[in-house]
Amino acid sequence: MTIANVLQVLLLILGVMLVFQAYWLAATALFPKTINNARDRYKKPVTTTLVGLAIVVPAFLVGFVFLGNLSNPLIKAVGLLIGIVPLLFGAIGSAGLCQLIGHGLPSPTDQSQNWKRVWRGGWVLNFCYLLPFAGWFVILPWGLISGCGALVLSFGKNKQPASRNRNRGANPRPANKPTTPQRSTVKQAQKDDSPRAIRQQRTQIPSPDAAPKTKRQRPPRSPRPPKEN
């Protein structure tokens, strides 16, 4: 093998890695909420992978095996589209996996530049794809299949808050009824008749010693009758 062949293979691998990075960064920039939901779906990898298999395998069989072997070129084109769309979904949904890897490798600039998490995680995942045999036939297919499942499940997660808001709007909570004046007067009367209120009233009554002394005012005397001479 000559140096030219080595450089050709190296550039081909680097180009494929850059294409994956472009898909992951574009998906993160265009659909940030969807990618965040896909990242949460990767916390349950088994369920995500099974959903991806249920989508990718039938689409592959229908698109490439059944429709791809027919003689009509238009039907072949439709079959090719059916087989490629789940793989495209897998490439976009695996951006959630890159973001999850990037969260495990934090950096001080992540708060201001959130895309760097996907950038770091994408390079880590790309180099995992380069591992001979295990990376080519296990990690790479699993990344695409689980990415498709994560993307489809993230669409369903986005619809849940809207349905909850509709239910809340349909059955609003009854407003608290204001208390009537009669109830307030009854409560005030009960409070005044309580032993504690009676004690407070007794303590507030001034004692005779503490009361200020005032001069007694005598009633005016009636005028005396004049003496008779």
Each residue of 146-199: pLDDT tens digit? Answer: 999 999 999 875 554 444 445 555 555 545 554 444 555 545 555 555 556 556
Q: Give whole-number Cα distances, 19 to 67, 86, 126, 144, in Å.
A: 28, 17, 10, 14
- Cβ atoms 63, 70 nearer than 8 A: no
Distances (CA, A) of 177 to 152, 174, 186: 46, 9, 17
> What local confidence, expressed as pLDDT, does residue 63 receive?
87
The domain locations on the chain are: 17-158
Cβ neighbours of residue 54 closer than 8 Å, sequence gap 6 or more: 149
Residues of the chain with confidence (pLDDT) below 70? 1, 157-229
Question: Which has the closest alpha carbon to 118: 135, 131, 139, 104?
Answer: 104
Residue 115 φ then ψ, to 5° = -65, -20
**Alpha-carbon gap, residue 55 to 49, rounded angstroms:** 10
Stated as kind and residue range, the H or E segment containing 12 is helix 3-30
Q: Is 101 exposed, middle or buried (0-12, 13-18, 19+ CB in 10 A)?
A: buried
Whole-model pTM?
0.64
